[in-house]
Structure 1
Amino acid sequence: MEAKSTLTPATDLAQRNPVHFPNESAEYRKARNALLAEEIELRRHIERVAAQRRQLPPGGEVTRRYTFQGEHGPVTLEDLFGDKDTLVVYSYMFGPQRERPCPMCTSVMAS
C-alpha cells in the first residue's frame, strides 16, 4: 500500500463520489459522505495492519511431532504440507448430537 502522505484524503474521495440516491437530502448526503470517508479510512487501516502481519518474523518452531487423522490414516504435520510451504487448516464443527459436521460450518469446504 502506498505511503499515507501520497494517498488522497478520504474526505476528498468521499466528496468526489458520483453515486447519489434519488431525492436524497443535503443532510443525508453530508452524513453519507462522512460515513464513506470513515469506511475509506477503515480500509486503509486494515491494509496497514495486514502489511504489518506480513512483516512479522517467523513464529515459534513446532518441536513436537503432531499426528493427525488423514484421509488414508495417520499423518504428521510435516506430511500435511507435502511439497507446499503454506497450510490451510479448517476446523469442522460437531454439535453434541451430531454424527456429521455442521453443514453451514463446512459448506466452504465443498466449494
Structure 2
Amino acid sequence: MSLPLEGLTHFAIGFLEVHMSKTHLAGIRLLISEGPEAPEMTRAFFAVGSTRTKSALLDFFKTRLSADDPEYAIKMFISTLLSMRMEILVGLRINPTHEEINEHAKRTADICIEHFSK
C-alpha cells in the first residue's frame, strides 16, 4: 500500500468509525428531525471539527496527491465515505461491522487516489 493510500485509508477508517457510531447517528437523526425548527443547533453541530478536518484534508489532497481541484476531491471523498449512512439512518440496514468499515474505507481511498492524484 502506498503512503498516500495508507494515510487516506487510515483517516477514512477513523472518520467512518465516528460517523457510523450509534451516538453520532442518533445526533444526525435529531438534526434531521429538529433542524428545520432549530437551525442554530444544526449550524453548531456541523461547525465542530469540520474546519480542522477540512483543513487537514485540503493540505493532504494538495500536497500528497497534487489534486487539481482539492475542494471537489474532498467533497467526493467524504460523500463516498458517507454513502452508506442514509440506509442506516432510515433503518434499512444495521450499522456496519468493523470489517465493512475497513473495506469501504479502503475502496473509497483507492478510488480517490486513482482519480485525483497526478
Query: Same-fold call, TM > 0.5?
Result: no
Q: Which has the larger radius of gyration?
A: 1
Q: Which structure's residues are more often helix, by fraction?
A: 2
Q: Which has the higher contact order (CA 8 A, sep 6+)?
A: 2
Instruction: Give the structure-1-normalised TM-score.
Output: 0.28
Q: Which structure's residues are more often strand, by fraction?
A: 1
Instruction: Give the structure-2-normalised TM-score.
Output: 0.27
